[in-house]
Amino acid sequence: MGNLRVGVIGCGAIGKEHIKRLQHKIQGAEVTAVMDVFEESAKIGAELAGGVKVYTDAVALINDPEVDAVVVTTPGFAHKDPVLAAVKAGKAVFTEKPLCTTAADCREVVDAEIAAGKQMVQVGFMRRYDRGYKQVKELLDGGSFGKPLVVKCTHRAIDVADSYTTEMAVNDTAIHEIDCLHWLLDDDWAKVQVIMGANTKNAHEGLADPQIMIMQSKSGVTVILEVYVNCKFGYDINCEVVCEDGTIGLPCPSFPIVRHDRKISTDIEQNWILRFIDSYDVELQDWIDGVKDGKVNGPNAWDGYMAAVTADALVKAQKSGVMEEVAFGETPDLYK
């Protein structure tokens, strides 16, 4: 089979990264068209792919006969329309996370797949492809640490754009832990709470930062997650699973620990592009391989829906301040 011809919708930060990796790193794929609401951005994306077709209309790109499959890298609030249009056109889609920003919107995608009778959507929850998280999962699944009891995480970033809202701390940022820890623990979320306290001077007007998110699974594992997106000192992702007979810490890759000038020190990663660079490569390769086999290998639309149901409960908890229930309903046959 020849290269899968991919159209990319949204040529911003991660869109440009994915265009480059699809064109230059991933086997069996080529970018044939790109789209952005801003023609200038689309032209930059097209240049990165070596000069491919430029669109400013998503449906026109999806219907292009030289586009076999679609990558959606618009902001989260603009995922639903192109994802649904691609599913309805019978084309496989990789969409960046979140699948959509509400559970109701995600459910429309799930229902479109059920109507089509097949899974077509993979969601960009790339932490499932991260070597470190996979190692933690292997140790947990091995059983010698006993059952997991508590997970302590930080999701810290240097800063965020002025358009970033308090709700996005849930559906743009914590959404990674919502999905990844559900996969890591092989457990579903039961209830969630958000605690807001002292706010950093570094946050823009109206943004609650940091936020402490608590998620408890059906089996009672409690996750304590600090989301702090204006921490200034680095992109700092940590995770420690406390089990009955020991703890498992997520390895923090890349930098040597040095002893110099009477100090012990190491570096912290700068941003998600570098921290998860390998995970994005493996993720997109797996997506391409799956599409060629007519399957969704990675996180699917139901995973995206479950994450959004949890995110909706966390957004409710941001306002209520109390524990909120999480309820998913019956898993449709297509995803069992």
Which residues pair with residue 240 across a beta bridge? 152, 249
User: CA–CA separation, 50 vs 201, rounded Å?
Assistant: 43
Residue 325's identity, in one-letter code, is: E
Three-state secondary structure call for residue 234: coil
Stretch that binds ligand NAD, among 73-81, 151-159, 179-187, 216-224 (CB under 6 A): 73-81
The answer to the question of residue 280 lying near ligand ISE (CB under 6 A) is no
Which is nearer to ligand NAD, 29 or 34 (by Cβ)?
A: 34
Q: Which helix (H) or strand (E) holds 49?
A: none
Which tokens in the block code for residue 305?
């829906």
User: CA–CA separation, 123 vs 290, rounded Å?
Assistant: 13
CB of 283 to ligand ISE, least distance (A): 12
The answer to the question of residue 172 lying near ligand ISE (CB under 6 A) is yes
Are 118 and 112 in contact by the 8 Å Cβ rule? The answer is no
The answer to the question of residue 269 lying near ligand ISE (CB under 6 A) is no
CB of 223 to ligand ISE, least distance (A): 16
- In the block, tokens 């219907």 appear at 63
The answer to the question of residue 97 lying near ligand NAD (CB under 6 A) is yes
Q: Which helix (H) or strand (E) holds 192?
A: strand 189-196
Sheet holding 222-228, edge to edge: 246-249, 236-243, 148-156, 222-228, 211-217, 189-196, 324-325
Among 4, 6, 8, 10, binds ligand NAD (CB under 6 A): 10
Per-residue string for binding with ligand NAD, 260-299, x by CB under 6 A? ------------x---x-----------------------
Which is nearer to ligand ISE, 182 or 191 (by Cβ)?
A: 182
Which is nearer to ligand NAD, 76 or 298 (by Cβ)?
A: 76
- In the block, tokens 């009477």 appear at 262
User: CA–CA separation, 267 vs 274, rounded Å?
Assistant: 13
Among 75, 146, 251, 329, binds ligand NAD (CB under 6 A): 75
Which tokens in the block code for residue 224?
């304590």
Closest CA to 55 of 95, 77, 82: 82
Out of ligand NAD, ligand ISE, none, what residue 55 binds, judged by CB under 5 to 8 A for its kind, is none
The answer to the question of residue 172 lying near ligand NAD (CB under 6 A) is yes
User: CA–CA separation, 163 vs 94, rounded Å?
Assistant: 24
Stretch that binds ligand NAD, among 35-43, 83-91, 146-154, 223-231 (CB under 6 A): 35-43
The answer to the question of residue 225 lying near ligand ISE (CB under 6 A) is no
Helical packing angle, 39-48 and 13-24, nearest 10°: 30
Indicate the residue whose CB is closest to ligand NAD: 12
Residues in the site for ligand NAD, rule: CB under 6 A?
Answer: 9-15, 35-38, 41, 58, 73-76, 78, 96-97, 124, 126, 172, 272, 276
Residues in the site for ligand ISE, rule: CB under 6 A?
Answer: 157, 172-173, 176, 272
